[in-house]
Amino acid sequence: MIFLYLLIGIYILGMLFIFVYSLAQGNLLWNFWKARKELSKIPIKTMDHWPKVTVQLPVFNELYVVERLIEAAAKINYPKECLQIQLLDDSTDGTVELIQKKLKEYPEINFQYIHRVNRVGFKAGALKYGLEKAEGEFIAIFDADFVPDPNFLLKTLPFFSSEKIGMVQTRWTHLNRNYSLLTRLQAFALDAHFLIEQMGRNIQQAFINFNGTGGIWRKSCILDAGNWHDDTLTEDLDLSYRAQRKGWEFVYRPEIESPAELPPIMSAVKSQQFRWTKGGAECAIKHIKGVLTQDLPFRVKFHALAHLFNSSIFIAILLVSFSSIGVWWAGVTGLIPENLFKLAGVFMIGFVIIAGVYLVSYFYARRSFIKSLGQVFWQLPLFLSVSMGLALHNAQAVWEGLTGKKSPFIRTPKFNLESGKQGLKTNNYINFKIPITTYFEGLFALIFWGMVFLHIQWGTFEMLPFHLMLALGYSLVFITSFKAYSLGK
C-alpha cells in the first residue's frame, strides 16, 4: 500500500505541476488577445539618421546553408557606410573555403571574416569574440539556417525609441513548414511560442527572451549585462534575463518575420530539443534565486518561474504517464474509491488549456479559420502526442540541466532541402549514434499500446485518451528516430 500511495502522490504532484503551468499559459493567452490591440500603440522613433550596425552571422560547419546566408545578408537594405557584416566562422571543414570564395562576390560590402581555430565557448564565445571587433552601435544576429529579410534593420531600428530598450526580437517563420509531418509539428510548437508566449509576456512587461537569432541588440545593453556567457547551453536566454534584471526593456514584434529552416529529421530535432531544454534548466538554476529576491511584481515572478522551468514539464509528463498506470490499476481493482479515481481526471483540464493555446496560435498564424479547420483536427492531437513521446529524451536533458551536469554545445544539422542541391542521404553532418533512450522509447510505446488494449477490454475509458496519445507519441518518436539513424549509415 505504501508503494500505491507513493504512485498516487507522484501522479497528483505531476498533474498539479502541469495544471499550474497551464494556468500560466492560459494567462499568456488572455494577454495575447489584449496585445493584438496594443501592437500599433508601441512608440517608434523617427529615424533622422541611421546608426552604425553590425550583423553577426555565427557559423560552424554549414556547407549547405552558408552560401544562402551570405547571399541574404548581402541583400540587406541599409546604408553601406553604416553596415558591417561579420562572418563568425568556427568551421573545421570545407565551409571555411566556401565562405572565403563566396565573399569575393561582394567586394562592395563590408564583410568581416573572423575564423577561430579554437572553438572556446562555442556560439557564445564566437559572439563575444566578434563583439570585440564590432563597429556597430547595434548588433543583429542570424544563425546559419536563417534568411534575413532585406528590410530587417529598417523595420526593427525604429523600435529603439527609448535608451532603455536593449533588444528587439522578431518572429520566426518557416521556410519548409510543409516539407513533412515533422516540420509541420515543429511549426505548431514554435508558432505558439512566438505568438502566444512572447506577445503574452511582453504586453505585461514580464521577462521575454532573445531567441538566439532574428533579433537585434543595443551593444551597450550586451556589455552592461555582462556580455555573452558560455556556462549554459542557451546563452540567449541567459543574457536576456541578465539584461532585463538590470532594467533593460525588450520589444517583441510579431509582424516582422525572420524566415528559417526547420530540422527535417528526428535526430536533428532531438539535438535541438536537448540543447533548448537542458539550457533552459541551466538558466533556471542560475537565475531563479535572483528573480525571486528582486523587487518585481508578482505577475513577473510568476511568469519567470513558468518560463524558466517550462522544460520541467517533460519530467512531469514522464512521471505522470507511468504513475497513471498504478492509479488506473488501483481504481479498477477498488484499492481507491471510484469517486477519487474519477476525480483524478479533473487535472486533465490542464492539458485542455495547453491544447487551447496551440489551437489559437495555429489559426492566428495562418489567418484563415475555414482553410485550417480540417488540418487542425488531426495535427493538434498528433502534435501533443509527439510532444509526450519526447518526454523521456527531454526529461533526461532537463535533469542534467537541473543537477549541473555539463555537456558540449551540439549544433543542429542544417539541410537547405528547398534548394534541391542535396538530399537527406547526402548530408555529411548526419552521424547519429543511436542512444539507449531510443530503445526505451520503443519499449514505452509497447507498454502504452498494452494499456490501450486493457482500457478497451475492461471498459475503463477515463485514461484511454491519455494513454493512447502516449502510445502514438512514443511510437512515432521511436520510428522516426530509427529512420533518421539509417540515413547516417
Could you give the residue numbers annotated as active site? Answer: 90, 236
Grid cell digits, residue 277: 531544454
Q: Is 177 helix (H, G, I), strand (E, B) or coil?
A: coil
Name the percent of the chain in helix, strand, coil, to the closest 5: 60, 10, 30
Alpha-carbon gap, residue 251 to 256, rounded angstroms: 12
- The radius of gyration computed from the CA coordinates of the chain, to the nearest angstrom, equals 23
Question: What type of residue sits at position 124?
Answer: A
Alpha-carbon gap, residue 53 to 224, rounded angstroms: 18
Grid cell digits, residue 338: 471510484
Alpha-carbon gap, residue 278 to 107, rounded angstroms: 41
Alpha-carbon gap, residue 130 to 303, rounded angstroms: 33
Q: Is 316 helix (H, G, I), strand (E, B) or coil?
A: helix
Assign residue 97 a region (left: φ > 0; alpha: ψ between -120 and 50; beta: otherwise).
alpha
Helix axes 436-458, 464-487, angle to 10 degrees: 150
Q: Of the candidates 238, 241, 222, which has an alpha carbon nearest to the alpha carbon of residue 230?
A: 238
Assign residue 228 a region (left: φ > 0; alpha: ψ between -120 and 50; beta: otherwise).
beta
Neighbouring CB atoms inside 10 A of 5's CB total 12
Query: What is the 8-class DSSP label of residue 361?
Result: H
Residues paired with residue 215 on neighbouring β-strands, in sequence order: 141, 169
The CA dihedral of 449, 453, 455, 461, to the nearest 10 degrees, is 70
Is the four-CA dihedral 118, 121, 127, 130 of positive or negative sign? negative
Alpha-carbon gap, residue 238 to 122, rounded angstroms: 15
Query: What is the 8-class DSSP label of residue 295?
Result: S
Which residue matches cell numbers 552521424? 431
The residues, any chain, with a CB within 8 Å of residue 231's CB and separated by 6 or more, are 238, 282, 286
Query: What is the 8-class DSSP label of residue 488?
Result: T
- Contact indicator for 303, 424 with CB cutoff of 8 Å: no
